[in-house]
Amino acid sequence: MSITEHPARHLGPAAAGELALGLPGADDRWQPTRAGIVNSWAWADEQLWFSDGWLALVGPNGSGKSLTASMLVTVLLDADTSQTALSVSGKAAGTLTSRHTDWNDREDRTGIWWLEYGLRDSAAGHTRFLTTGLWLRATGGHLHRAFFIAPGRVGSELTLERDREPVRLEALAGQLADCHGELFADSRALRGLPTRLTLQDERSYRQAIRTRLFTPLNEVQFEALLAVLRSLRSLRTAEAISPTRMRQVLTDALPALDTENLTLIAEAMERIAELESKLQRTRQEAKLLEDTATCAPSPRSRPPP
């Protein structure tokens, strides 16, 4: 096996079946199954395979494991491409353009990042797939981007590269229209392109991801999930993580509760406390009445006058 070959190609039938590469391992919930990058950052054309929703990125420090993971996991979930969101440490360090062009911001370059999910429907007896992705075009120091969602798989419903080059946005939009996919972009240049698909704004992408993949989470719960993901990725797994440190990371990741909701909860708890107090007094009074009735002499047992 050469260093450019994917190890999955050398798995025997038994091993491949046990690992279930590229297929969901659980029933009735979405799991990541495959991911890929075409002509972006240091990747030329690569596929990453999940097993039962798990993926391990192994390599020396500085090889880009964290950058790749943050692009696939957080950016393709909420479309937040701010420098702090891109950085594993949470501190601004490099833009999306820098990451796409491998720190050569003046380069003219088109690329695509994508992440596929699978859901094994136990009732229907079949597996559905959903592909999320980000199309990027850097030119003259400017970056144009478009997020997309497709109810299908790369290689069947979607073709993302032709002749070793990423497809143009018009070609991608045509494929998305054919498979009833969606395209999201804020760039005026992209929104002005002639396509058979109506472009939605980027804010709608996050909403679409939440409703398609994370139902029944509401917006607050979805934001809390993303905050936890970002906090956990800041931990270095090669170092010992104490329980105190992990507790602090998870606590910091939880969003602050809304003041109005806290007031409603406090009032409800106060009413519950009052009702419990009244119930306790009622039980005590009922017990006293019961004891009084038991101790009182019956009319037949009274002595004659």
C-alpha to C-alpha distance for 203 and 191, rounded to whole angstroms: 15
CA distance 61 to 267: 52
- Residue 25: phi, psi to the nearest 5? -100, -10
Give, as one character, the DSSP assignment of residue 218. Answer: -
In this prediction, residue 5 carries a pLDDT of 53
pLDDT in tens, the chain (305 residues): 454 455 555 444 444 445 578 999 999 999 999 999 999 999 999 999 999 999 988 888 878 888 898 899 899 999 999 888 887 765 656 789 998 998 888 889 999 999 999 999 999 999 999 999 999 999 988 899 999 999 999 999 999 999 989 999 999 999 999 999 999 999 887 877 777 788 899 999 999 999 999 999 999 889 888 888 887 777 665 566 777 777 777 777 666 666 677 678 778 888 898 898 899 999 998 888 887 877 766 655 555 55
For 31-64, give the DSSP string.
EEEEEEEEEETTEEEEEEE-BTTB------TTSS
Sign of the CA dihedral 101, 106, 112, 115? positive
* pLDDT of the residue at 66: 83
Global pTM reads: 0.75
Long-range contacts formed by 285-291: CB under 8 A, 24+ apart: none
Report how far residue 84's alpha carbon sits from residue 68's, in angstroms, rounded to the nearest whole number: 15
CA distances for 253 relative to 227, 228, 229, angstroms: 5, 5, 8
pLDDT at 17: 46
CB–CB of 129/36 below 8 Å?
no
pLDDT of residue 212: 95
